Structures are given as C-alpha cells and as structure tokens.
Amino acid sequence: MDPVIQFFYGIPVLGLVFQFVGYIVDQLPTIAPIILGNATPIALAALCGVMCERSGVVNIGIEGIMIATAFVGWYVGVLVSPMFGARPDWIFGFSPALLIALAAAILTGMLISLLHAWLSITVKADQIISGTIINIAAFGLTGYLNTLISQTSPNGAGNFSRFRPPAEITQIPVVGWLFQMFLRQGPIAISLIVIVIAFQVLLFRSRWGLRTRAVGEHPRAAETVGIDVIWLRYRNVVFAGAFAALAGAYLSMEATNSFQQGMTTGRGFIGLAAMIVGRWTPVGAFGAALLFASSAALGYSIGGNPPPGQLGDLLSGVPGQVFDALPYLVTIVVLAGFIGRSVAPAADGQPYERESAH
Amino acid sequence: MTEKRASQVGGRLRGMLRDLWAAAALPLISIVLALIVGAVVILASELIVPGRPFDVTLPLAAYSALFTGSLGGLDPIVNTMRSAAPLVLGGLAVGLGFKAGLFNIGAQGQFLLGALGAVTVGIALNEASPFIAIPLSLLAGGLFGAAWGFVPGLLKAVSGAHEVVTTIMLNYVAGSTIAWAVSGPLDQPGSPSPITAQVGNAALPVLIGRNGHAGILLALVAAVVVGWLLYRTTRGFEIRTVGANPDAARYAGMQPRLIVVLTMSMAGLLAGLSGSIVVLGVTHHMTASFGTTVGFDSIAVALLGRSNPVGIIFAALLFGAMRAGAPLMQIQTLNLIPAELVDVVQATILLFLVAHAVIRRLLHLRGVAAGVEATDTITKSYSGEAVTH
C-alpha cells in the first residue's frame, strides 16, 4: 500500500474515517449501478410526491399506486404476450407486449391518482385518509387477484433489459464508473435522469412551474390572478400518478420479471421521505433517494465484503438492520429540524374552496 | 301521571333511537354497499380463472362460509373475539389520536415494539409465577409501545414535525428493530429460521372455549377506561378540545403541546398492549415476520368506529369476524375466493365512509352524521402549525 495512505490510515480515531472513505471509494465502482437501480423506484415515488405536494395535495397513497401498477404491468404482459409470438430483438429488450403492459400500468397509475384527486379536491375528504384507503385497497385487491391468478401458473412477458455501454466509455479512468452507473441500466432507470432534470427545470423556470408553486403556497392569491386552482391540482395529481406507475412498473418489469405480493416493501414511503429530505425539489429528492439506496447497498457490501483491519471489525459489529433503518432515522432528524429544517409548501394538504362558492 | 311518564320515556327512547341512527346509518350503509362490491369482485374473479363453470350463487356461498367460519358455533365465535381483541386496542390507539386531532399511523410500529417488549420480559420470566410474569410482560409491552408513541408526540410538540410522517418512518424502524432482535439477541440457537423462545408461564390464561385468552377481557376493559377518560375526565375534555380547536384550547388555558405528547404516549401504550396480547395470548413466541396487518387494520377500525370506544368494539368485531371466517371461506370455495377478499371489502367500506357526502346526496339521507368524524384538523401541512405556534 502507498506509504502516504498508510500514514493517514494509521492516525488514531481519525484514521478510521480515512479508512472508511477509502473503502467507499474502493467499493463505489462495483455497487454504483446497483445503487442507482435501487434508487430508481424511490426517486420516482418521490417525484410523484413532489408534483402532488407542490400543488398542495398530500399523497401518501403512492405505495398503493406502486403495488397496483406493478401488478397491472405484469398481468397485462401475461395477457397480451401470447398474441405477439416470438420476442423481437429490440434495444432495451422492448417488445410489443411489454410496451402495451407499460402503457396499461401508466394508465392505471393515473386512474388511481384521479380517484385520489377526486376524493381530496372535489369531495374534500381528508387527504391522508384517502391515501391510506388507496393503500389498503391496492394491497387487498392485488393480493386477492395474485392468489387467484397464480393458481393458473401464468407466463409473463419478460422484462426490460439493461443497456450495455461500450467498454471504451466505462474503462475511462476515474470517471468510467459514473458512465457504468448511469448507462448500464434499463429504460426506466435511464429515463429517470432525464425526468429529474426536466422536472427541476420546468418546476422552477416555466409558467406551469410558477403556477404550480403558487397554488401550493397560496391558492387564494393564485386564483385572484386567474389561475384555475382546482383544474391545476387535478392535472398535477393525475400526471404525478404516471411517476408512481413507472416506479411500480420498474419493480415488476425491469428489476424482476414477475409480481410478488407486497413487493413494494415500503418504497413508496421511503419516496415520501426522500421528498422531505430533498426539500420538495426534484433534484434534491433524487439525491436523497441515491443516499438512501447507498445506505442499504453499503450494508450489503459490508456484509459480503467487509473492509480489512480495525474498520472491518468495527463495521461488521453493526447489525445490517441499522443500514436499513438509517434512511428513516435521517428523515425524522431532518423533519424535526435538527439538521437544516425542511418546510412543506404552505397550502399542502388543505382542500381549496373557491371564492365564488361563498 | 304514569301516562305522562310513559310518553316521556317514549320520547326519550325515540330520541335515543334517532341519535343511534344518526351515528350508525352511514357505517351500516357502507358495510352493505361494500358487501355488494365484494360480490361483484367475486363474480368478476370467476372470469379470471378459467376451467370452472360460472356460478352466480358463488358470492352467497362465500358470505355464508364467512358467516359460519366466524359465528357458527362456540369455537368460531371465540376465534372472532380473539381476532377482534388486538383490533379493539389498536383501534383505540388510532381513535384516541383522532380525538386529539392526530393521525397515529404509527400503531403498527407501536404494536411491534409492544410485542417485542412483552416477549422479551415474557421469555426472561417464563419460569416465574404467572401472577408475576403476566403483569410484568404486559407492563413491558405497554411501556415499549408508549415509548414508541412518545417520540413522535414529543417531536410534534417541540419542533412541529408532522406525526404522520414521523410515525410512518418509525414503523419501518420498528420493523428493522424486530428483525434485528429476533435474528440476534432473542434468537433460539439451533432453529432453522429466526425465532424466539416460548414465553412459558407469561402466556395469557385461556378463559373461554379452546383459545379465548384473557387478552379479550383486557381489550374490553381498555375500551371502558378510554371511554371514561375521554368523556368523564378533565383530561379527556382537554384532548377533545385540542382536537376540535387547538387555538380555542390554548385561549382556555390548556396546553396543546402537553396534550399531544400525552395522547401519543397513551395511544402507543394501547397499541403496545395490542401487540402484547397477540404475542402472549396467541403466538407465544415471535418470528421476524410477526403480525403485519393489525396496525393498518386498526386505522380502518378507528374510522369505521368513528373514534368512539363503543363504535370501535363493534368495528373490531366486524373485521375480526371477517378475519376469523376468511380461511373457511377460502377452503369451502375450493380456493376460488382467496382470504384477501376481506381486505377488499374492508377498503371498500372505508371508501364509502370517506365519500359520505356523495352517498348522502345519492340516498337522500338527512339527519345522519358524517362518515368520518373529528378528522378535520389532521391534514395540516407537515410543518404542523396547528399545535406549535
């Protein structure tokens, strides 16, 4: 080992920090594609949350939308794939059946969001209760149908495959692993990067973004300058359903090729956490999702391939569950304002009464 | 004189009936509508699984099996009560929060931590006298749950962190804690999958039938105590006032922050007891995949029971009956109707309750109370200005 590095690693206590950083730098190229993959559904769920809450509607039904769309995507694939014969050899493993299934999943996500929008905007029901009901209903119905359908042992339509970036790019020293991370992915994970950037620009630089933020902060003022608050909220909440649908489709059509009961395992809720830690901005939420996914990936990495020496002994003593729980603890700490306070849009969660209605 | 008295009694009786109808009409209508929706789902699901003749009477067969499995005889009835007991305690935990304007989604986490506390002490005292082991295990479960409720309460009171988000996060932290404890310090050496030892003498005694444990009694007592607390004590009045109007409560000299911490801790205590009676009365040990639905069913129970202790008992009995009868339904219909139908019906009931305004208009109901009560102050922004300013 380099004597300089050896010197830094040898410093008492502080040396452990250097060793830890060294371990992460060492491991990152291997686990980076996994991190982005795991972060994708979380980030998409978070984007769904950002879009809803920026326009003033709380949506805790994201988890339910994800499980429902994961199911619909998989099952529509099962239904339509016999109609198309052999799978063509297209990029990303696209096939007609898979694309139809993806479209069906997105449509389902938007329909469930429409239900949430109707309950929370028109009926003015409590938005958190509406979201809770969507979660219970989605888990019940998908569990029910899955138990029924699995009796027929169906064949799915397969899943999207990863893009293989050329070796010349991924072998570039120092930054090659970044290309590996962002390009050695399936279509949904790659499109996530585009969505995050486009959403960030639109939210803070476009007319739609300004209106959305206005409606989320002060709907009364927004209406007096001629913005249709109700319509804008409907549109945003329904469109946000497509993000949650992509998150669900990622689970059953990109990360795996089948549906399992309860396969979302709380990712919709971690998405909400990423939204809060990312302070209700698309890029922030994406960053938080990456951070959360890294925590879990690091846990696995330490379990399978622990760092040498003192640091290894120290980290191997930490139970793996600590890394699982870390994102939630970080969220609580951020929300409580111990590290840089995160504040929601002012009109978040409040149904809007039109001025003219009084 | 007696005639006058009779008419007075009659009038009061009529008034009581009117109040009862006002409170129970929407829940009852929602239940009936949800059962109809369930029947439609059953008929539609016959189309999914091919190779069986289409049977129009299948929903009836399913519901009658559900009924036999939950109420047809002593054992089914005891099973219903056994499934209902943790839901009563969990429903009280959520309902008490609703009364104070708090949405305690964390019943699930408090339930898990309570079970962990009870099983830890129960294992330690598995050879002690039951008179010592049972109370101490229950106490530990209740206190663990209370601690898990105290944290979000304190965070809300001190910094305004919204309890919905913090309790959801704590649910997952609780899940990780259970997974760690069951596969780590509490794991039985030599078992193929992570599992704790048996609680031995700390197991709750069976009072009725084959497995009607004492936890059922505890749930009923808890409902009475919560009812007394809410409607007969000053604290209860304060809780309800803070829930209805925190500003008015503050001007009246109450301390909303203190009430929030207190209510969340008590809710945690109830949910913790719920976990304790499941682990001490039913499973007697704990696995990493312990009790995953009670916490969320509790939200449904509290909403259907309108956060009222009596309503919560009835709602818990309904959902408990469905849970207890579901396996028989699945067996008798030859797996054509999975037990998850219960979840579908449960969610549909809630959907109709929440959309109560629409139902009232459609059915021309007048003089009927809203479907979901005392929840107007819940969805405030995450900064939670309702309490802290």
pLDDT at position A340 is 57
Predicted local distance difference test score (pLDDT) of residue B367:
64
The pLDDT of residue B63 is 92
Which of B186, B352, B354, B378 to mutate: most A Cβ within 10 Å? B354
pLDDT of residue B292: 66
Give the closest-approach CA distance of A230 to chain B in angstroms.
18
Judged against a pLDDT cut of 60, whether residue B382 lies above it is answered with: no
Mind listing the pLDDT tens digit for each residue in B312-351? Answer: 999 999 999 999 999 999 888 877 888 889 989 998 998 8
- What was the pLDDT predicted at B386? 36
> What type of residue is A95?
S
Going by C-beta distance under 8 Å and a sequence separation of 6 or more, which residues neighbour residue A326? A292, A295
| Nearest chain B Cα distance for residue A141, angstroms | 6
Distance of CA A177 to the CA centre of its chain: 22
DSSP tag of B195: B
Task: With cut-offs at 50, 70 and 90, classify the pLDDT of residue B378.
Answer: very low
Cα separation, A219 vs B287, whole angstroms = 49
Q: What part of B 83-112 touches A (C-beta under 8 Å)?
A: 103, 105
Q: Does B312 touch chain A (CB under 8 A)?
A: no
Residues of chain A in contact with residue B347, where contact means CB-CB under 8 angstroms, are 133, 136-137, 140-141
Whether B64 has a pLDDT exceeding 80, the answer reads: yes
> What is the reported pLDDT for A342?
66
Which stretches of chain A score pLDDT less than 70?
Answer: 1, 338-342, 355-358
Distance set, CA B182 to CA A191, A262, A324, B282 (Å): 40, 22, 16, 17
Query: CA triplet B154, B157, B159: central angle to 5 degrees?
Result: 95
Q: Which amino acid is at B226?
A: V
**Tokens at residue A92, please?**
């990303």
Q: What number is the average pLDDT over the span B272-288? A: 93
Q: What is the pLDDT of residues B297-306, one digit of tens each?
A: 899 899 889 8
Of A235-239, B205-209, B271-275, the least confident: B205-209
CA dihedral B21, B25, B26, B28 (to 10 degrees): 140
Per-residue pLDDT, averaged over B136-142, amounts to: 97
Interchain pair B344, A137: CB under 8 A: yes
- ipTM value, please give it: 0.84
> Measured between CA atoms, how close is A173 to chain B, in angstroms?
39
Query: How far apart, in whole angstroms, are the C-alpha atoms of residue A242 and residue A239?
Result: 6
In angstroms, rounded to a whole number, what is the distance separating the alpha carbons of residues B335 and B329? 8
Contacts with A10 (C-beta within 8 Å, 6 or more apart), sequence order: none
Give the distance from residue B356's alpha carbon to the nearest chain A alpha carbon, in angstroms.
9
Single out the residue of B387, B349, B360, B354 nearest to residue B373, CA to CA: B354
Would you state the pLDDT for residue B388?
33
B335 at interface of A, judged by CB pairs closer than 8 A: yes
> Model confidence over B78-96: pLDDT tens digits?
999 999 999 999 999 999 9
pLDDT at B213: 92
Q: B20-29, B43-52, B166-175: which range is least confident on average?
A: B43-52
pLDDT confidence of residue B271? 97
Residue A117: how many other CB atoms lie within 10 Å:
26
User: What pLDDT score was predicted for residue B122?
Assistant: 95
Provide the CA A241 distance to its chain's centre, in angstroms. 12
Taking CB atoms and an 8 Å limit, are B165 and A273 in contact across chains? yes
In our burial notation (b when 16+ CB lie closer than 10 A, e otherwise), range A24-49 reads: eeebbeebbbbbbbbbbbbbbbbbbb
Residues from chain B that touch A60, judged by Cβ atoms under 8 A, are 164, 168
Residue of B58, B98, B343 to mutate when probing chain A, most A C-beta within 10 A: B343
A147-171: string of b/e by CB count within 10 Å (b at 16+)? bbbeeeeeebbbbbebbeeeeeebe
pLDDT digits (tens, 9 = 90+) for A143-181: 999 988 887 778 777 888 888 778 777 777 777 777 778
B58, B333 contact by CB (below 8 A): yes
- What integer best gives the mean pLDDT of chain B? 87
- Separation CA A95–CA B104 (nearest Å): 45
Q: Does B217 touch chain A (CB under 8 A)?
A: no
Separation between Cα atoms, residue A263 and residue A251, nearest integer Å: 8
